[in-house]
Chains A and B, each alone.
Chain A
């Protein structure tokens, strides 16, 4: 079906652009050929799949037979009574709270320190390194670092008389561990985004505040944070939405190296992406998986809207 829509759009547009008489500015006639490749890509892999994904949530689409029938809202009534779905949402929420809480505080701290201490390119490059490696690799690194028997982290904690902790193999430890892993990976990148925003604050504001005898902390609260609000809003929206989509690290590290199933131990790390993946590609119930994905889509839209409202992202106090 997707293919026929694409062929139809391409043919109709090309016909139009070739039969229209040329005008001075060109209009669609000239723009068409520039837009065509990206239009095909956007329709085929973004817009049509999104509509189709929502549609599939109302079917019993099976991956093995590659077919399905319209079943109305059945998937959604099933979802309301599905304890696994609620568990997945709860686990994901917990992950996001740990991840965003630590990551935002650290990123702001790093950004402010870089702003005040050093504009060194080397420092900026170094803290960006974890952002560059695949999530899967980060998961493997920490699978080893957090190993209960041989892991370096337990060794270090041991020097202070702490531990050993079962980070990835205990139900209470696995989500904070995965979240802090993600914080390690993205705090440098997030810090650079905030750092870029800091550069836009006029320096004379700080000078004036210092003359009036303001402390560092007062300057942070009264100048930096309010003026950074639009940037922080953007950063929060991007990181929160990204955090809800955790998959690779939970797949590779959840439950530790000896984990038998997905999202261990006992579903303690079965985040919503893992649960959707499991339904779609292990149980082959792609209708139900699509319903789950649709719920997540709506949920993320609501979260984004709330955040933008809270942060009043489109206004700046600088004006």
Chain B
């Protein structure tokens, strides 16, 4: 018997579909290959010595990785880089800075934005929706217009070229974080909170003992997104701590490393090892929280 599904499409057996589906799969496969190839090629490059790369060959070595994290012996430097003097990726200091910056921003931003979102979603006060709308408009402000005044402000606070100076603008809130959490609060039943309120609990009490435990999964999702964003941020630390190696996060250190490489015989092995090592923590986070991140895109994009 012919069912509606046979006529219609999904699992379609018509001539068109038999032609179309393998073609579509091939196209999708091609797109996935294009997506992944740069990563594979970077790994291959990082595992080869520079002299071999220059002649289009491959010669296995761990030297590039050892070099960028600063544990290579003189021979390994010579072998992998093809010369004695190479640029230096200030790896351990930058890694420490990146971890401090991203962790602090993620914790602060998620916590304070959740507090604000709680007020916007659960409390009554004059001008509430107007203030929330102004916050939302903040999402539309291109960072370039606030960049120079923010640098001047940080300079006047005496925090230029310091870790607090890099962290501060993202520590208390971003409009996106408040929006994300408020969206979520609106979809959660408030019966538990109302019961607590009838029992005479204060808003602080309710927020701490009922709401926070309930929204933990969403706070983790937002925390992961914030962490990755902070880890990848380049422009702000680049302008606020341009020449201060002791506070630079990894992407800025990578840019410094790139400018040190000689243009006529670039240290491709070292550069690719640096990019892989910079990206690795994000990949680990993605391996653990990938589903959350993918789902959050559906959650924030629509509705």
Which A residues contact B (CB, under 8 angstroms)?
2-3, 25-28, 30-31, 33-35, 37-42, 44-50, 52-54, 56, 61, 66, 106, 109-110, 113-114, 116-118, 121, 123-130, 132-137, 140-145, 147, 150, 152, 184, 188-189, 192-193, 195-197, 199-200, 206-207, 210-211, 215-216, 231, 234-235, 241, 244-245, 247-248, 251-252, 257-259, 273, 276-277, 280-281, 286, 289-290, 293-294, 296-297, 300-301, 304
Q: B66 near A: Cβ within 8 Å? A: no
Listed A/B pairs (9) with beta-carbon separation below 8 Å: A26-B125, A41-B112, A49-B145, A129-B39, A132-B232, A150-B54, A192-B297, A231-B302, A276-B144
Which residues from A are CB-within-8-Å of B25? 117
Which residues from A are CB-within-8-Å of B178? 38
Complex partner residue of A48 from B27, B134, B149, CB under 8 angstroms: B149
- Bound complex: CA A130 to CA B56 (Å): 26
Complex partner residue of A53 from B35, B118, B146, B233, CB under 8 angstroms: B146
Known: A134-B231, A140-B274, A304-B140. 17 other contacts (CB 8 A): A39-B116, A49-B145, A110-B28, A110-B31, A113-B27, A121-B291, A123-B32, A128-B290, A128-B293, A129-B36, A132-B293, A133-B232, A133-B279, A145-B41, A196-B302, A206-B8, A241-B140
CB distance from A1 to the nearest CB of B (A): 9
Using CB atoms, name the residue of chain B closest to A249: B234
Does the CB pair B116–A207 fall under 8 Å? Answer: no
Partner-contacting stretch, out of B78-86, B186-194, B214-222, B250-258: B250-258
Mostly helix, strand, loop or mixed at chain A's interface? Answer: helix
With A121-B291, A123-B32 as known contacts, state yes or no: A144 contacts B268, CB within 8 Å.
yes
Which residues from B are CB-within-8-Å of A118? 28
Q: B1 near A: Cβ within 8 Å? A: no
Q: B152 near A: Cβ within 8 Å? A: yes
Q: B130 near A: Cβ within 8 Å? A: no
- Bound complex: CA A213 to CA B151 (Å): 62
Q: B143 near A: Cβ within 8 Å? A: yes
Which residues from A are CB-within-8-Å of B263? 257-259
Using CB atoms, name the residue of chain B closest to A45: B169
Does the CB pair B146–A49 fall under 8 Å? Answer: yes
Does the CB pair A41–B153 fall under 8 Å? Answer: no
CB distance from A315 to the nearest CB of B (A): 16
Q: B21 near A: Cβ within 8 Å? A: yes
Which residues from B are CB-within-8-Å of A48? 149
Complex partner residue of B35 from A3, A127, A248, CB under 8 angstroms: A127
Does the CB pair B268–A150 fall under 8 Å? Answer: yes
Which residues from A are CB-within-8-Å of B264? 258
Looking at B37, B119, B141, B175, the one whose CB has the most chain A CB atoms below 10 A away is: B119
Interface size counted on chain B using CB atoms at 8 A: 103
- Bound complex: CA A2 to CA B156 (Å): 10
- Bound complex: CA A281 to CA B268 (Å): 29
Does the CB pair B32–A125 fall under 8 Å? Answer: no
Does the CB pair B125–A136 fall under 8 Å? Answer: no
Does the CB pair A25–B124 fall under 8 Å? Answer: yes
Does the CB pair B38–A142 fall under 8 Å? Answer: yes
CB distance from A102 to the nearest CB of B (A): 12
- Bound complex: CA A124 to CA B298 (Å): 12
Does the CB pair B294–A192 fall under 8 Å? Answer: yes
Q: B71 near A: Cβ within 8 Å? A: no
- Bound complex: CA A251 to CA B255 (Å): 9
Mostly helix, strand, loop or mixed at chain B's interface? Answer: helix
Does the CB pair A200–B7 fall under 8 Å? Answer: no
Which residues from B are CB-within-8-Å of A258? 263-264, 266
- Bound complex: CA A126 to CA B294 (Å): 10
Q: B161 near A: Cβ within 8 Å? A: no
Q: Which 4 pairs, one residue from A and one from B, show the smallest C-beta to C-beta distance? A: A258-B263, A41-B172, A38-B116, A49-B149
Using CB atoms, name the residue of chain A closest to B299: A196
CB distance from B119 to the nearest CB of A (A): 4
Does the CB pair B45–A144 fall under 8 Å? Answer: yes
Q: B15 near A: Cβ within 8 Å? A: no
Q: B171 near A: Cβ within 8 Å? A: yes
Which residues from B are CB-within-8-Å of A197? 301-302
Using CB atoms, name the residue of chain A closest to B178: A38
- Bound complex: CA A47 to CA B153 (Å): 13
Q: B150 near A: Cβ within 8 Å? A: yes
Which residues from A are CB-within-8-Å of B184? none
Contact digits for B204-240, partner A, Cβ 8 Å, 1 yes 0 no = 1001000000000000000000001001111100010
Does the CB pair A210–B8 fall under 8 Å? Answer: yes
With A50-B141, A286-B148 as known contacts, state yes or no: A34 contacts B203, CB within 8 Å.
yes
Which residues from A are CB-within-8-Å of B301? 192-193, 196-197, 231, 234-235
- Bound complex: CA A132 to CA B288 (Å): 14
Q: B275 near A: Cβ within 8 Å? A: yes
Q: B173 near A: Cβ within 8 Å? A: yes
Complex partner residue of B175 from A26, A46, A109, A143, CB under 8 angstroms: A46
- Bound complex: CA A234 to CA B297 (Å): 13
Which residues from A are CB-within-8-Å of B56? 150
Does the CB pair A132–B298 fall under 8 Å? Answer: no
Chain B 137-168 residues near chain A, CB threshold 8 A: 138, 140-150, 152-153, 155-157, 168
Does the CB pair A45–B146 fall under 8 Å? Answer: yes
Which residues from A are CB-within-8-Å of B286? 125, 129, 132
Does the CB pair A121–B294 fall under 8 Å? Answer: yes
Does the CB pair B35–A136 fall under 8 Å? Answer: no
Does the CB pair B150–A49 fall under 8 Å? Answer: yes
Does the CB pair A66–B279 fall under 8 Å? Answer: no
Does the CB pair B203–A54 fall under 8 Å? Answer: no
- Bound complex: CA A188 to CA B39 (Å): 15
Which residues from A are CB-within-8-Å of B38? 130, 141-142, 145, 184
